[in-house]
Every structure is written in structure tokens, then in C-alpha cells.
Structure 1
Amino acid sequence: MAGDKISMDNVRPVQSEDNIEAVEKGHLAENEFEVFKKGEGMVDFRTVTWYHAAMIFLKIIFATGVLSIPTAMYTLGALPGAINIICFTMLNGYCAIIQGNFRNRHAGCHSIADMAQLVGGPILKELVGFLFIAAYVICAGSGIIGVSAAFNALSNHALCTQWFAFIATVIVAIFASVRKFEKLAWLTWVGFISVFVAVLIIVCGVTTRDRPAIAPQVGPFDLGYRVVGHPGFIAGMTAVAAMFVSSAATAAFLPVISEMQRPKDYNKAVYVAMGIVTSAYLTFSLVVYKWCGKWVATPSLGSAGPTLKKVAYGVGIIGLAISACLYVHIGAKYLFVRILRKSRHLQSNSIIHWGTWLACTIGISIAGFLISSGIPIFNYLLGLAGTLCFAPVAISLPGWLWCYDHPHYWKGTLVQKSLYALHVFMIALGMFVTIGGTYAVIQAIIDAYASGQIGAAFDCADNSGTVLNS
């Protein structure tokens, strides 16, 4: 592929503290330091403002993951669940800052795979690139499940779910084919408001019922609310993976930096996005779990009864579709730049440019459709993305990036040594979540197939959490 090898003139390491404003680019002009250039006759990709970037980041994170958190909360219990939400959103936000700082020191890096090449060579680059693509194919699949569930809810399951998934895939592929993040920015505003309001409807709706919608409607029942849960390893790790992945898609922020007007404003955008995500996740999940306990539908938009389910999906379907579009666009943009980098076709309107771009978006959309049909349950699909793909890329690699830029800390003061050890621990933590979490999620999927919780691949069954109790 064109541009597989990054010129060290474009990604030269700079040893400095965590302050983007202090970065010295020396004799390298900023235009030459960036992946996307500005020039006459070129398509200008660098048009994203910081507040548009913040909204893109917010929509990337606040998406299908929020629909799986209440179920994970039941497994862990309210207190451990809340601690997991706070810790993982803070950790993922910090890792996003590490990645942004590293990218702005080595701005020839367009993606997390470019960073991996700089610190670990071409083999690590290929591995991380594969995990990046796999993650966003799986996330695209989760978005397609969300849209197909909305179609099922609104139509009372009028068609086979696979037809709804196919229709969702076509819609996603069309909108994901918009080339620039700037053109998607206004859609992210609409998408975030759509999902936020949909979840808020369910949060308010569950508090108005005498008992959860999918609980027995007569006689005594066990709500299942626990301050502290006592899950086994497989159930616990699967729930932790769902909590982690709900805010772990920070590697997707990196391609956006390359299209920002001022890459130095990246940190500001991350702080805004992750602050909103943390408060929203914590509030919504605790309220739904308090009122529904173990009787939470999957996805959680079905938890307040059939009427509010239709209202919530009617409001949220736009946001679910835009989430899937973003996931496809991010994965496709990585492949697109990887294939055409250092080629005149990267920023031209040539047939090769458009053919490559459309092939990338359509290909990832199709792969997402196939994944969504093979593992048609939110929690497991997102858990698999979190453990297998995001944990090594979003936790371990940022720890390595920080150590690469701060080698002198290992022999510095006690505080510096402690900071270095902390980032080495991040590498180990990511590996633990990857190995232990992937084992747990795969075993949970096997058990779900064996028990009939998951039907056959390409099953037509309703996936919207339909309940009969109004």
C-alpha cells in the first residue's frame, strides 16, 4: 500500500513535558508537519473547530454503549458499578490526552497505528491497525443492531430482523461516505441530542411504574437491586468489559485531530466531551438500575414498556444511525489514508480517490452487518470490542507512548519514577483486560448460544426488547 512506511522526517520524536503548547516544530512548517496539506487544487480536510471536535468525540463515546450499562450495573452492583464508570471514563479520558499529546509531538502520525510504528516498529503497527479496524467493524455492527432494534420497535416486528439490519446497513453506508468530519459535525449534534433524549425518556419512564415493565406484573417479585453484587469471574469480567468499552473509543479521536483547524485545541475538546459523558453515564445508569434492578431490557430502551419504548426508539433512531455512521467513517478513513498516503489522490477528486473511499466505507459497512448478524446481542458484542480490541489499543499502548516520550523519568526523582511505574502498570492493566476479558466474553457468548439466549446466526427474531406489559 502506498504510504505504509512513514518518513522519519514527518514523525520525528520530541522529548518534552505534557504540554502541547510547548511543542517546538523547529524548521518544519506546520503545513508540512500535517498529514493533510493546505494548497491550491487540494481538498481541504483541515476545517474542524474545537467545539465541533468536542461534539464528534461526544457522539463517538455517547452511543450504543450507554444502552448496555444498566445491565452491567446489575451484575456488579450499584457501588462497584458506579466506581467502574467513574474510573474507566477518567482512565479513558486520560489515555485520550496521552494520545493527543503524542500525536501533536509527532504530527505525521494520522492514526494510533502510526504511533505504534514509531514506538514498536512495523509489526506492532500492523497489529494495532488490525485491532483498530476490528474494533470499529464490531462497533459498526453494534450500531446496526441498534437501528434494526429501532425498526423492530416502531413496526411491531413487521419484518425479519435481518431485513431491518440490511436496511440499516444501507443507510449507514450512504451517510458514512461523506468524506470530511466537518460535514458530519452537524449530524453529531443531532445524533447526540437524539440518543440523550431517548435515554432520558426511559430514565423518566421507569420511575413512573409500580414495577419494571418486564417483571411479573402480579404477585411478589425480586427487584434484584444490590449495592454490591457477587458475580463470578465470567459474569464480572463481561460486565466490566461493557463498562470499559462504553467510553473506550478514544483511538477514534486521532483521525479527527488531523482535520482540526488548530490541533493544539484537542485537549479542550476531550475535557468537554469526557466530562459530559461521565456525568450522563453515572446519572442515567444509577436511576435505571434503581428502578429496574435485574429487569432491564437489552438494549435498555425497552425497559419502560412498549409505549415508551416506541417513543424512545422513535427519538433515538437518528442518533443510533449516526453512531454507526461515525464508526464506519472512522474505520474507512484509516484505510483510506493508509492506502493513498503520499499519493496525489489523497486530496484530489480523482476516480481513484472516490473509488477507494467508497470501497472502504461499503466494505466496513458490510463487515459490520455480518458481525451484527453473528452476535446479535448488544452486551456481548460491545464486550468483545472492549476486551479484544480497545483494551490493548486504548490502555496498554497509551502507557507505552507516555513511557516513550518520558524515558528520563525512570531515573529521575521519586515522583517521576512513580509516574513512570504508573504508566507501566497501565500496560499491564490493558493486557489483563485483554486476556481475561476476552476469555470471559467468549465463554459468555458460548453459554448464551447453548442456553438459547442467542438464536442462530442471521435469526429473524425481534431484538428490540419487546415486552407485553404496558
Structure 2
Amino acid sequence: MSLRAASIKNTSSDDEKAHPESGRGVVEPYYPDVEDPLEENEVFKKTHDGVDFRTVGWPRASVIFLKVIFATGVLSIPTAMYSLGAVGGALSVIGWGALNTYTAMVQGNFRNAHPGCHSIADMAAVLGGTVLRELVGALFLIAYILCAGSGILGVSIGLNALSTHAACTVWWSLIATVVIAATASVRKFHQIGWLTWAGFTSIFIAVFIVVVAVTTLDRPAAAPQTGDYELGYYVIAHPTFIAGITASATIFVSSAGTSAFLPVISEMRNPRDYNKALFVCMAIVNAAYLSFSLIVYKWCGQWVASPSLGSAGPTIKKVSYGIGLIGLIVSACLYLHVAAKYLFVRILRNSPHLQKNTAVHWITWLSCTCGLASISFILAEAIPIFNYLLALTGSICFAPLAIALPGFLWLYDHGSYRKGHLGQKLIYYAHCFLPLLGLFLCVGGTYGTVQLIINAYADKEIGSAFSCADNSGST
């Protein structure tokens, strides 16, 4: 290779390598002449014909991962802090964040060891065959339909806040659903990469504005503005089981959507770069969660809003929602896209229509996005409290997907550790604990969240389903 060619190769960005015929100066062949054995079982093939889905580099993958899990968590954790206290909340953020990072690494390593897997459901099939695949696939779909519903709810709250409830909330939710379905219908993760940059930047700035603004107030915006009041800030809190498990499930789910990373691996140019993207994403996310939530809780206590963008008063609420609206839309778009992509691949896998621009290809894809968006809209209107919707998602779906199943995946690939030396045996039995932890959070978290939802309906904290009432607290 000439010095000029080597220079071009070394200075090209990993995320900007293009098709060799595009004339962008990349000397390294995009489609190698020698077939990589690990590529043979990949769901999406590198191809000159039809739709090439394999175009995502690891820097872009890290931003997609960031946007998948950042928005909803940073908006809900400060409320959970009130139940757990500053110390308990901080330890919960750190503990769940570390565990979710590790189990995400387990999932990615398993997927790359079994490259025929496109989703967590395919990985479950390796463990337990068709029955387990169908069960896990259903949980995966339900999880991201609920997450998309929380995104629709968040966007409707933002539109209500910006307009001071100028229209029925159901109409705002419907508008949000249409926009989210349209953006999610873009077929490739690479093509929505610029949206993830814009979405992450917008929600980060919006939350940062709120964090700074709450420190300038004499008392929380939602607290009584005259007379004595109870802030509700506790270093160590003593919650009931129901309040504690629901708050813990809310913090857990804030970084538990790692099963959404797996379909992205199938669209990466080099799936073995997955861990780079994962570690960059989770380091940023958990640092932001811990710092932002502790500051908002310290200054707002029990008066923190849900979502937390409304915690600094009506003016800052409009500003933060105006800036963060793009981020809320992109989050819901990614949740819907992940769910639709799973269903799309499941229907057309091993079919020539999977990577061909045929009528069957487009009808199937648009049916998946629009159909799942409709279900998300219905669920968002049926459970119109942001935190409860997230906690329910974490308990029912992500506890099995992000804790229990990764434990079984590790045990499947490392069965020899059970008969190895002492250190390997300890590691083996430590992983046996993961399915038990997932079961506890699934049962306990679901019980606690459902009970709180029942109580909220009884106390009139939640209006009726498909209610036109303002959900942003602006009126």
C-alpha cells in the first residue's frame, strides 16, 4: 500500500466510511473479497444489491444507544429519589447502572458468539427453542411498545406545557403518535443517526437548564409560595415496600433498555465493536443520571415534577420543553423503530423481500411501524402517569429481559466454570443469582406499581382514560 493510500485509510472516520463506489477516498474495501466466516450467519448481509443495512460505525452506535435510554430516565429518577432518599437513590442509580452495563455486555458477547441472532428473542431460542423465543419476543415487543407509549405521553405533556393546554390532551397525543410513527418509519438506524445527535443534545440541554434553574429558586416552584412548607428532602428515607420497590423499578428501567442495542449490532459494519459503543454510552448516561437527579432532588424534594422538566416553574418549563421536545420525539421514535424492526425481521427473515425494495418489503415495514404506534397510543392514554408507565415497563418486561435472561445466557456459554477452579465456581454461582434477582423485581415491582396505579385512580390523581384534562400542570 502506498503512503498516500495508508494516509487516506488512517484518517478516515469510522462512522463515515462509505460504499467504495461513492468516491470518498476510502481505500479499504467496504465489501472484502475474502468472506469473513463470522459474517456467514449475520441477518443482514453486506450487499451491493438491494438495501444495505450494514452501515453503522461504533461512534454512531454509541449515540443511538445514548438516545435509546437517556431521555426517559433523566426525567423520572428525581421523583424516585424522594422515596429512597439521597443516599438510597444514589446507590440505586450506581448499582442498577453498573448491573445494566454488565448484563448489556453479556448480551452483546453472546450475540457476537452466535451471530445468527438479531434480537434478544433469537438469543432465547438458542437457550430454550421456539417456546422461549416466542415468550421473550412477546416481552420485547410489549416493553418497547410501552416505552414508545411513555414517549408519546412525554411529547403530549410537552405540547400541553408549550401551548398552556390549548387543545384536548388526546389530540396532542394523536399528533405526537403521527410524528413519531413517521420518523420511526425510516428503515435504517444509520439514516436516523443525525436525529439521535439532535435528540440527545436537545434533551441534555433541556435538563441542564432545569438543573441550573432549580438552584436559583428560594423554594420549589410547586411548593406553597408563602408560609412554612415541608421540602421533603431526606438523606436516608424509610419507604414502604410498595413505594420503595416502585422507585427502585423506575431507576432500574432508566438504564435497562439494553436489549434495544442488539438489533443495532446487526446493522453495524463491525459487530465486534459493540463493547466500545456500550461503554461510552453507559459512562455518560450514569454520570448524568447521578449528578442531575441528586441536584434536582436536593432543591425540589417532594415537589419535583413528573417528568422533571416542569420542576423550575412555568417559564422554565416552557423553555425546557421547547428545547427538549425533539429529544422526546426521537426517544419514542427509537423505541418504536426497535419494536417494528424486530417484527419486520421476524416476518421477512430468510425472504428475498428483507433487503429488496419490493411492495411486500414496504407494506410489511410500514404496517409494523403504524400498527405498533397505534397500540402505543392506546396504552399511553390508558396509563397517563409517566413514572407509573415506566415502572410497570421495568417490572414486567425489563426485569426478565435485562437481568434474568442475561444470567442464563452467561451460564449457557460458560457452563465449564461450574467445574473449574474456585474463582470460576464463585463467578458461576454469582451469575446464578441474576435470574432470582430478575424474578424478584418482576413480581415485586409489578405488584407495587399496580397498587400505586390503583391508589392513584382512587385518589383522583389519574383522570379517566382518553381524558382531555391537562397532563402538564399548566392550568
Q: What TM bracket, shorter-length normalisation? A: over 0.9
What corresponds to 1:223 in structure 2?
Answer: 231
Conserved? CA contact 1:191–1:318, under 8 Å: yes
Partner of 1:63: helix, strand, or coil? helix
Change (3 A) 1:465 1:66: farther
What corresponds to 1:169 in structure 2?
Answer: 177
TM-score normalised by the chain length of structure 1: 0.93
Conserved? CA contact 1:302–1:466, under 8 Å: no
Select 2:279's aligned residue among 265, 271, 274: 271
Aligned-pair CA distance for 1:31: 3.2
Change (3 A) 1:191 1:455: same
Matches within 5 A, 1:112-151: 112-151=120-159
Aligned-pair CA distance for 1:27: 9.2
What corresponds to 1:448 in structure 2?
Answer: 456
1:382 corresponds to 2:404 = no
Aligned-pair CA distance for 1:28: 6.8
Select 1:49's aligned residue among 48, 57, 61: 57
Q: Which runs of 4+ in 1 moved over 3 A?
A: none
Aligned length: 442
What corresponds to 2:160 in structure 1?
Answer: 152
Q: Give the AA of the match of 1:196.
A: F
Partner of 1:210: helix, strand, or coil? coil
Gaps of 5+ in 1: 1-25
Select 1:84's aligned residue among 89, 92, 111: 92
Q: Distance in 2 between matches of 1:255 and 1:464?
A: 34
Partner of 2:340: helix, strand, or coil? helix
Conserved? CA contact 1:299–1:465, under 8 Å: no
What corresponds to 1:301 in structure 2?
Answer: 309
Matches within 5 A, 1:339-418: 339-418=347-426
1:264-303 Cα shifts (integer Å, max 9, x gaps):
1100000000000010000000000000000011111111
Matches within 5 A, 1:192-341: 192-341=200-349
Q: Give the AA of the match of 1:458.
A: F
Conserved? CA contact 1:160–1:460, under 8 Å: yes
1:383-441 Cα shifts (integer Å, max 9, x gaps):
00000000001100000000000001011111101111111101110010001111111
Q: Give the AA of the match of 1:453.
A: E
1:100 corresponds to 2:108 = yes
1:212-267 Cα shifts (integer Å, max 9, x gaps):
00000000111010011111111111100100000000000000000001111100
Gaps of 5+ in 2: 1-33
Conserved? CA contact 1:298–1:465, under 8 Å: no
Q: Give the AA of the match of 2:223.
A: A
Select 1:189's aligned residue among 175, 178, 197: 197
Q: Distance in 1 between matches of 2:242 and 2:460?
A: 18
Identity of aligned residues (%): 63
What corresponds to 1:436 in structure 2?
Answer: 444
Conserved? CA contact 1:194–1:319, under 8 Å: yes
Aligned-pair CA distance for 1:65: 2.0
Report the aligned-residue RMSD: 1.1
Partner of 2:401: helix, strand, or coil? helix
1:75 corresponds to 2:83 = yes
What corresponds to 2:47 in structure 1?
Answer: 39
What corresponds to 1:179 in structure 2?
Answer: 187
Q: Give the AA of the match of 2:39.
A: N
Aligned-pair CA distance for 1:63: 1.4
Q: Distance in 1 between matches of 2:48 and 2:78?
A: 51
